């Protein structure tokens, strides 16, 4: 079983992408859970969301404390939210930042694999305005999920909510996040 912890701020869409990820994983035949941290929901406040992905039925209904992957959607949470806490030493830290993985390593002292994606820049350039979708693309890349399958599910998940134009921009942002995560990575220290 793989466990993922998302760190974002209220309004950035951490919960949304965790739920879409669950739908993607379900489509590839996995058992899934996705749940937000159940605190007060305020715009801009730190929020967490979680995923469990498994080949077997997931029975456990408690929190996630030792994730395999920590995803930081908002770089300003790197210090205050301690995203590496409990993160498995051989896990993956995935950060939305313009910094290099080496710089993030120096900042966090995390010994495992570090992947950096400038999701804010992708959000600006594609015109979506939200960093969550590029980070979802990055997670899909880190998990090694089939890209076409993931994109098809994303298209379905967003199709009903967005205009054709905004959907196309989001799919572009998703691809850019996916591609970036494949490139900008450092292995274990």
Report the interface residues with another protein, using CB under 8 A: 18-19, 22-23, 25-26, 31-36, 38, 58-63, 65
Give me the least distance between CB of 170 and another protein, in Å please.
Answer: 19
CA-nearest of 61, 46, 114 to 84 is 114
Nearer to another protein, 160 or 187 (CB): 160
Question: Which residue lies nearer to another protein by CB, 35 or 186?
Answer: 35
CB closer to another protein, 15 vs 113: 15
Closest distance to another protein from the beta carbon of 16 (Å): 11
DSSP-derived secondary structure letter, 20 = H
Cβ at position 67, least distance to another protein in Å: 14
| 40 close to 108: Cβ distance less than 8 angstroms | no
Residue 98's CB is within 10 A of a number of other CB atoms, namely 12
The helix, strand and coil proportions of the chain, stated in percent and rounded to the nearest 5, come to 40, 20, 40
């Amino acid at each position: 079983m793989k466990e993922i912890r998302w760190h974002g701020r209220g309004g950035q869409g951490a919960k949304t992408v965790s739920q879409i990820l669950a739908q993607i994983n379900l489509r590839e035949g996995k058992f899934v859970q996705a749940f937000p941290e159940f605190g007060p929901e305020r715009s801009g406040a730190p929020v967490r969301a979680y995923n469990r992905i498994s080949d077997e039925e997931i029975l456990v209904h408690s929190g996630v404390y030792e994730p395999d992957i920590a995803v930081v959607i908002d770089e300003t949470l790197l210090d205050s939210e301690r995203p590496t806490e409990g993160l498995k030493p051989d896990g993956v830290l995935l950060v939305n930042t313009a910094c290099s993985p080496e710089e993030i390593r120096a900042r966090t002292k995390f010994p495992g694999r570090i992947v950096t994606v400038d999701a804010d820049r992708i959000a600006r350039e594609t015109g979506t305005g939200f960093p969550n979708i590029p980070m979802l693309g990055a997670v899909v890349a880190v998990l090694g999920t089939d890209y076409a399958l993931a994109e098809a599910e994303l298209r379905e998940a967003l199709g009903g909510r967005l205009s054709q134009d905004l959907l196309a921009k989001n799919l572009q942002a998703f691809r850019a996040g996916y591609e970036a995560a494949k490139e900008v990575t450092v292995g274990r220290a």
